[in-house]
Structure 1
């Protein structure tokens, strides 16, 4: 199991791209960076369409387990592989500016 927290250096707020997300090798079955807090706004896009902004999170937790089990007693080289991954990203302690910079004063 792993986890983490992020904070800006010297009191600065980190850019959205430097905040936590999950996927890829940390959470199998999801594209890298696809498990992340987002902000959805209907009709806010430049042409009046919907807009989704990736915010990232201040904290994450991920756990994974793997088990190899023999399929046949007399052939130990034939095995089945079971895996289970679980994870989450949370905590948005600041607002996001349009440039993707987190800004607690917005």
Structure 2
């Protein structure tokens, strides 16, 4: 049974909460798949920290580890969990649109009274 969208979104949001992890994702988006060593050369983050961040991003499904040459692992982006998180946020926004519009109308009517 596939994970619930809320569970996937929660993992994505937790992964994106850290600026270093966002930098790793941005580097992968800009230049494509890379090893932890490649990422450490591009970012002001140690290779050991990169490895920890990439592990969390992999757990969230945002990064996929692929075997490379000479036992080196290359990491690439996986956008599917991000799309689930976007759909989750869109559903929340739809749920809030009606109540917020009603509150706005109520407040507007109070001002004119």
TM-score bucket of the superposed structures, by smaller chain: under 0.3
Higher helix share goes to which structure? 2
Q: TM-score, normalised by structure 1?
A: 0.28
Higher strand share goes to which structure? 1
